[in-house]
Each structure stands twice: as structure tokens, then as C-alpha cells.
């Protein structure tokens, strides 16, 4: 950002009052009688009810529409380990997105905890407050253990958006791009650059959708993740291949799909030029992609490209997923978020891209028309159909996978 934009961003966060979120009261609190209901003595009745049956918390408190957005600040945006407190503006931003897109309330919680056990202990102890937990900006590989442990210990949905949110939107866009390029997920060769939270979760979900593990090559800072390496954590080792390929260029020979969740300018024109016919490139590093889309298109005129940016076509944006996944999970009283629920979200999001686009979406982007094709493989974030369709599909999958408690009518 230039100096003027930096100042604008700081002023936006500072004025007229610091930060981006607050709380509001949902019941009348004007008369003496109102206050008697809101606090003592009236409040004793729901306390007794919840003490007798904890499920009543969903009827008498805001728990069922409240998500904790929780971080330790160890992997904030592209800024790295800035610490819990410096992550707070991002967590408030996430709260804004939850409220704006799915009317879910958020408390953002920043935890000083470098060790997974400390972080897990803290979240378990405060979990009664919430109807769901959205983990955010926690570095890999610790994030995998944290999410798995919390999910097993808590009876509310736990979702690490940097893992599963990213994976769901990548999968939705990729399935549509494969259809346009006349390819099948069962056959394509996939290269994923970046073996952190997003990369590993995306490869796992693509396997769940039919991609064979043997067709995937993962790259980290040290090149191809192959079976001969002795520096791999257990999550990377899951994807280690028996292969002679070592460099990024080796990996890209004949690849159908490139998924970049790594860093800027790591994908060269030479690497794109050795890909298979009709390739798909998801250059998702933000704010600067692995390759500039114009450069990619100059190199190959038969490719489909997506980025994480809103100023290029095909933005892979997590806001297409997490607000609606949580809305469906909360509405069905899901105790966890299953892979079936992830796949239901993928299917519904990809279907929307094939349907006629509402006028208000075209107006928001200053477009005359938008139709399913190489420059429109995934819905726009402001599409009002997302809230109508995705939560229903997710809730249905929660019921079908046996994790719904149905707190709400």
C-alpha cells in the first residue's frame, strides 16, 4: 500500500471509535421491570433451567448464534508470527465478515500461547461460551494437532478456516475449472506449492473428492516432498512420493493443475510452459500471487487462472464458505463439522457459478454480464444466493452424517 492508503486504513480503524465491532442489546431494557427480567431476579429462571439441562443454553442465551474467532497470532495473514495482540484487527475483521454475510455474532479471542497444549487448554476452558469455534491464523504444523484435539474434546463445531475454509473454496473452483478444461479429478496431475495448513487440507479434501494421492506432488521451501527426505513432519510425510523429481520445474512437467498457497512470484513462465495442455493455475498467495495473471496468460493462452485477489477474475475467497458453513452447522446444532459437510458446501458453491447471476451482483462489480466460463468459475462474494443455499446444504449433510442435534426449530 502507498502512504496515503496506509493512512486511510489506520484512520478507518481509529475513527470515529477504535476497532470494528461492538455488542448490542437484543431485549428491551428501559423500565424497572425490564431490568428485573434482564438481571436479578428474572435471570435466575434460565440459570436454573440450564443447570438442570445444559441444552437449554441454546434456548435462553446467545450461545447458539455466537462463534469464537480464536488465534495465538502465530501466522497472521502474510505477516507471520506477530503475536496474539497484533492479530486482533484481523480477528475483528473476521467478526465483521461473519456478521455481514451470515448474521452470526463473534467474540474475538487472542490467546498468548506458543505451545499447543496451552492454547488447547485455554480454548477448552472457555468453550461453554460459544456455539462454535473458528480457529484463525495459527501456524502449521501445530494447527493440525490443535484443531484435531479441540474437535475431539468439544461438543460444538471447531473449524480452522485457514485449513478447511481455503480447501473448500479451492475445491469448488477447481472442479468447475476441470469441467471447463474437459478433465476429470480422478486423472489429473496436481502440484501444490506450499505444504502448510491450506496446502495439506486442500490435498486431503481433493482426495475425498476422488483425486488419487499418487497424482499429487507437494512442494515446500526445500522442493519436492519425496520419500527420501528426513526433514518432514508427519503431515508432510503423509504426501511423500517415491519420485526422482526434486525441483519446482521438475514437479511441473506435465502437470494439469497448479495450486499455490505459498508466496509471491514463485511460479515462473517456464514452469507454466511445461504444464500439460489446458492447464489450471490457482495462484493464491496474497496480496501478490505466485505469478501475475497477465504474465501467465501471455505464456499460455489455454489456461484458466484464479487468484486470491478481488481485482482479478476468479477470486478464491474464504468468505464464500465459512459464514455459511457455520450458519448451517449452528442451525442444525451440529456437534462437529464432518467432511460430508465440507463436500456439501463445495457442491453448492460450485453449482451457483453455473446459474444466471443476479442483477445486484453485476451492479456491484460494474458488469453487464457474467456467465460460467474461464473467467467465472466461482461465485462472487456478494452473491445473495450463498446465504440461501449453502447453509441448507450444510445442515442437511449434518443431519445425514448423524452429527445434528437440532437445537433450533
Letter string b/e over residues 325-336, b meaning 16 or more CB atoms within 10 A of that residue's CB: bbbbbbbbbbbb
Q: How confident is the chain (409 residues) per 10-residue block, as mean pLDDT?
A: 94 97 96 96 97 97 98 92 97 98 98 97 98 97 97 97 97 98 98 96 97 97 96 96 96 98 96 98 94 96 96 95 98 96 98 97 94 97 96 97 76
- pLDDT attached to residue 409: 44
- Quick: pLDDT tens for 183-235: 999 999 999 999 999 999 999 999 999 999 999 999 999 999 999 999 999 99
- pLDDT attached to residue 408: 47
Judge whether 94 counts as a catalytic residue: yes
Q: Cα(330)–Cα(62) distance, rounded to whole angstroms?
A: 12
If one counts every other C-beta atom within 10 angstroms of the C-beta of residue 360, the result is 10
Q: Which of 190, 166, 167 is nearest to 258 (CA)?
A: 190
Q: Which of 6, 12, 20, 39 is catalytic?
A: 39
Q: Which of 63, 94, 236, 380 is catalytic?
A: 94
Judge whether 63 counts as a catalytic residue: no
In order of start, what are the domains of the chain with their CATH numbers? 14-156 (3.40.50.10380), 163-409 (3.40.50.720)
C-alpha cell at 140: 502449521
- pLDDT attached to residue 178: 98
How high is the mean pLDDT of the chain? 96
Q: Cα(273)–Cα(263) distance, rounded to whole angstroms?
A: 20
| Whole-Å CA distances, 176 to 36, 77, 121, 399 | 56, 27, 41, 27
Burial class for 56, CB neighbours closer than 10 Å (0-12, 13-18, 19+): middle
Amino acid at each position: 500500500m502507498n502512504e496515503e492508503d496506509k493512512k486511510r486504513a489506520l484512520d478507518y480503524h481509529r475513527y470515529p471509535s477504535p476497532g470494528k465491532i461492538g455488542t448490542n442489546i437484543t431485549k428491551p431494557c428501559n423500565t424497572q421491570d425490564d431490568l428485573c427480567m434482564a438481571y436479578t431476579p428474572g435471570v435466575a429462571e434460565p440459570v436454573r433451567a440450564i443447570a438442570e439441562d445444559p441444552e437449554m443454553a441454546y434456548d435462553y442465551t446467545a450461545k447458539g448464534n455466537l462463534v469464537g474467532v480464536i488465534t495465538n497470532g502465530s501466522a497472521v495473514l502474510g505477516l507471520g508470527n506477530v503475536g496474539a495482540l497484533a492479530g486482533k484487527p484481523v480477528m475483528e475483521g473476521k467478526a465483521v465478515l461473519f456478521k455481514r454475510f451470515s448474521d452470526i455474532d463473534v467474540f474475538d479471542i487472542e490467546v498468548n500461547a506458543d505451545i499447543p497444549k496451552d492454547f488447547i487448554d485455554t480454548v477448552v476452558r472457555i468453550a461453554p461460551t460459544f456455539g462454535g469455534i473458528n480457529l484463525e491464523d495459527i501456524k502449521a504444523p501445530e494447527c493440525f494437532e490443535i484443531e484435531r484435539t479441540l474437535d475431539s474434546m468439544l461438543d460444538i463445531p471447531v473449524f480452522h478456516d485457514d485449513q478447511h475454509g481455503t480447501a473448500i473454496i479451492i475445491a469448488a473452483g477447481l472442479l468447475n475449472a476441470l469441467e471447463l478444461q474437459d478433465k476429470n479429478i480422478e486423472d489429473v496431475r496436481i502440484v501444490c506449492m506450499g505444504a502448510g495448513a491450506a496446502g495439506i487440507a486442500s490435498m486431503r479434501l481433493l482426495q475425498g473428492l476422488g483425486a488419487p494421492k499418487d497424482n499429487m506432488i507437494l512442494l515446500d521451501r526445500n522442493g519436492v516432498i519425496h520419500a527420501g527426505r528426513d526433514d518432514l513432519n508427519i503431515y508432510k510425510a503423509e504426501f511423500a512420493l517415491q519420485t526422482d523429481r526434486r525441483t519446482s520445474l521438475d514437479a511441473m512437467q506435465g502437470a494439469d493443475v497448479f495450486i499455490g498457497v505459498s508466496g509471491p512470484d514463485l511460479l515462473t513462465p517456464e514452469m507454466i510452459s511445461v504444464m500439460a495442455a489446458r492447464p489450471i493455475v490457482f495462484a493464491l498467495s496474497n496480496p501478490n500471487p505466485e505469478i501475475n495473471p497477465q504474465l501467465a496468460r501471455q505464456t499460455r493462452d489455454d489456461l484458466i487462472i484464479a487468484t486470491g485477489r478481488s481485482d482479478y477474475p476468479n477470486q478464491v475467497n474464504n468468505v464464500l464458505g465459512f459464514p455459511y458453513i457455520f450458519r448451517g452447522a449452528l442451525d442444525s446444532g451440529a456437534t462437529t463439522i464432518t467432511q460430508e459437510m465440507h463436500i456439501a458446501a463445495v457442491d453448492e458453491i460450485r453449482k451457483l457459478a453455473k446459474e444466471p447471476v443476479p442483477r445486484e451482483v453485476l451492479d456491484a462489480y460494474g458488469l453487464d454480464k457474467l456467465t460460467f466460463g474461464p473467467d467465472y468459475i466461482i461465485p462472487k462474494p456478494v452473491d445473495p444466493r450463498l446465504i440461501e443455499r449453502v447453509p441448507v446444504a450444510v445442515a442437511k449433510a449434518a443431519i445425514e452424517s448423524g452429527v445434528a442435534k437440532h437445537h433450533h426449530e
